[in-house]
A and B are shown apart, each in its own frame.
Chain A
Amino acid sequence: MPRTKSDLAKNVVVIAILTTFALSTVAPLVWMVFTSFKPLQEVESGSILPKVWRHDNYGEVFKQVPFARYYMNSVFVAAWVTFLTCMTSAMAAYAFARLEWKGRDALFRLYLATMMIPGVVTMIPNYTLMVKLHMLDSYTGLIIPSAFGAFGTFLLRQFMLTIPKALDEAATIDGAGHWSVFIDVVLPLARPGLIALAIFTFLGNYGSFYWPLILVKSESLRTLPIGIMYFDGNYGQQTNLLMAASLMSLLPPILLFLIGQKYLVKGTAFGAVKG
């Protein structure tokens, strides 16, 4: 509770400023929503609210481009990449955090070092590899190269280091092998880290633009970001439909954000403060 009158005044000022910022942050998105319901002539009219509400704009998007296909491609690829990343990173993190072996720390430092290298440096040879392997314009080409990164291993290793070893030892005494310890003891305890990684990875891959842009050639393989970009380019100035399409593509991230907000916040802080 504000203790003095000046505290109250300060709070009012703060709320006012925050409200201004929040409004200016939200304003473009509000414009987007309203425009997505306008008929084409009204887009340029300068009025904010549509005079005629065209719900069928959304259906129209599906008629003009294979939008459902783009959606399916984005979600499908992101799901696979998330699963593969989480699994392989968790396994590697277990090896780094829980097992003792020669060269472990040196190899881990190598992993860390590669995280510094700009993505574009590796994308060029990866593309060349896809060309040589004839994996251009394919689902495997979209999924496999994106499913391995050092970041996931790094994040989960840090997480696993905080899990007390006593629990492992208890399970081992009961006769559990490494795989059981991993799946039944460590993974469940690392759940917050896993969820954070899963959300990061899904969001990152769902919105990824560069790799699908260079890899995909056929319309049937396009993901949402590429599909929307071509929709903008090829179909004239249909701003209202474009806004409807963009809004629809924002649904999964918004949902994911609302559900996983606290994990994201924790994950960001965790990764940064220690780093």
Chain B
Amino acid sequence: MRTFLLLSIASLSVASFVVWKLQPPQTEDGKIVLTWVSDDNPARKAQAALFEKLHPNIKVNIDPDNNGVEKVIVQCIAGVGPDVYDAYNGFQLSAYVKSGVAMDVTNELRQHGIDLKSQVFSGVLPMCVLDGRTYGVPTNVGADGIWYHADLLRQAGVTLPKGPWKWDQFIPIAQKLTKRDSEGRITQYGFMFEWWNWRHFFCGYGANVFNASGTRCIIDSPNAVAAIQTMYDLVYKYHVSPTPVEETSMAAEGGFGSGYITLLAAKRGAMAVGGRWWLEQLRQTKGLQLGVIESPYGTLRESHTDGRGMLVNQHSNHLKEALELQRFLASDAYCDLINDQADACAAFIKADEKPSYFFNPKYPNERDNAVWLQILKMGVGDDISPFVDSSTVTRLIQVQLDLVQNGQKSPSAAMKSAAENVNAAIEKAVAEDPSIAEKYRLALKGTPN
């Protein structure tokens, strides 16, 4: 027994030494390794490679498996977090800042001549700036327009107006583009949109989720209800968009790319809401001619801007290099790459005003870049409230929208319930957290409401 025990301990020790030696090094060939938590968009690899070319002593690893606000926060606190990571909206930025894992780079950026307020589209500022302090640099920016199938429009004898148009002009056109078969079933939908993209419609009516101070949810206001009503009418009144049941039976494949492209190619739909990032997939789809027009609006000609901001982990072991990577996003090289890849658009306005943006010799058929620029220029970002967390709000709103989408609840009733629930969540959060209770009281005093 003694010999056996000694042998076991010896072999385990040897094994431990071997395993320890085999650990992937913090530095590869003397390079510093940075971890960037983001999504698994294939374009990310080229973006990282460009940075590595300009900084030969740094290697950038993309980690899509740990993408998720809560995960990143806890890992950063535990000391095993990434060096840089992306925030997809203002709520996420707020969560990261509150947890103390996002580095305040206001002074850093100023020293290097980067001033976000004047240099990027305002719609992407919520993911980068909070309470006047800057934490992130935008990676890209996007806004949705309407992609249309040129052939189908030609066949139906439809011409779209140039420039701004309203929903009442849109509806008859969409109806003309909706085709049915002999049994009355719709074979081609005039228009396709996703219900989780409700902010796209909100912007066209100037609707907001919260009031200016973020103390109350005003999603039951008339313009918000009007936006949802438009979505509902497109499906159930004008029948130009599919119901959920019809959507599932048309189910296209997922993955990174838009299912709508496949549907448009199959002529199941004539128009769809989408962004410039579609180009990534369209460039690989032969024979499909799509054009772009800005979205119709209701009362206010505004579009919804989304994008990402790259934040730096306060506890990173390689702060200097992480900040270099963050600053790289403001460089011409990076912005031009974004525009070339069509990873939506570069966030820095000057990059989108260059001739190389409007015309890319590699893809001479892409003539609509001016339209995208126009859409971006009229873009606004998400409004948030510092008094409640985003997953709660998104969930409460989405539940109600699901009911509307399934025809089980009217838009006004659903928005009323959503507002009640969100306001209850705000009250609960304020009651539980003394640090925001004070802020809330002060905010209440300042608003006319």
Contacts and interface: CB of A to CB of B under 8 A. Distances in A.
A136 B79 contact: yes
Contact of B65 (A83, A137, A183, A234): A234
Interface in B255-295: 255
A72 B74 CA distance: 27
Given A183-B5, A184-B1, A130 B12 contact: no
Contact of B2 (A72, A80, A131, A183): A183
Given A79-B12, A79-B15, A80-B12, A183 B80 contact: no
Contacts of A219: 65
A83 B8 contact: yes
B229 interface: no
B54 interface: no
B186 to A, nearest CB: 30
Interface string B74-108: 11011110000000000000000000000000000
B78 A188 contact: no
B23 interface: yes
Contacts of A73: 19
A132 B22 CA distance: 26
B74 A183 contact: no
A188 B24 contact: no
Nearest to A194: B1
Interface in A131-149: 131-132, 134, 136-137, 139
A230 B80 CA distance: 20
A217 B77 contact: no
Given A134-B79, A188-B1, A217-B80, A139 B19 contact: yes
A187 B1 contact: yes
Q: Contact size class for A?
A: 20 to 34
A72 B19 contact: yes
B66 interface: yes
Interface string B43-82: 0000000000000000000001110000000110111100
A217 B75 contact: yes
Nearest to B79: A134
B74 A131 contact: yes
Interface string B424-444: 000000000000000000000
A217 B24 CA distance: 14
Nearest to A138: B80
Interface in A180-194: 183-184, 187-188
Contacts of B66: 217
A134 B15 contact: no
A76 interface: yes
Contacts of A11: none
Contacts of A220: 23-24
Nearest to A189: B1
Contacts of B23: 220
B157 to A, nearest CB: 42
Nearest to B8: A83
Contacts of A139: 19
Contacts of B8: 83
A180 to B, nearest CB: 9
A136 B78 contact: yes
A238 B179 CA distance: 38
Interface string B1-31: 1100100110010011001001110000000
A134 B78 contact: yes
A27 B120 CA distance: 61
A136 B15 contact: no
Interface in A224-266: 230, 234, 236
Nearest to A134: B79
Contacts of B79: 134, 136
A133 B147 CA distance: 52
Given A183-B5, A187-B1, A230-B65, A76 B75 contact: no
Contacts of B5: 183
Nearest to A137: B80
24 contacts: A73-B19, A76-B19, A79-B12, A80-B16, A83-B8, A83-B9, A131-B77, A136-B75, A136-B78, A136-B79, A136-B80, A139-B19, A183-B2, A183-B5, A184-B2, A188-B1, A217-B66, A217-B80, A218-B24, A218-B80, A219-B65, A220-B23, A234-B64, A236-B255
Of all A-B residue pairs in the complex, the 10 with the closest CB atoms, nearest first, are A131-B78, A136-B78, A134-B79, A137-B80, A220-B24, A136-B80, A187-B1, A188-B1, A183-B1, A76-B19
Interface of A: 69, 72-73, 76, 79-80, 83, 130-132, 134, 136-137, 139, 183-184, 187-188, 217-220, 230, 234, 236
Given A136-B75, A217-B66, 18 more contacts: A69-B22, A72-B19, A72-B22, A76-B15, A79-B15, A80-B12, A80-B16, A83-B8, A131-B78, A136-B79, A137-B75, A137-B78, A137-B80, A183-B1, A183-B5, A188-B1, A217-B75, A234-B65
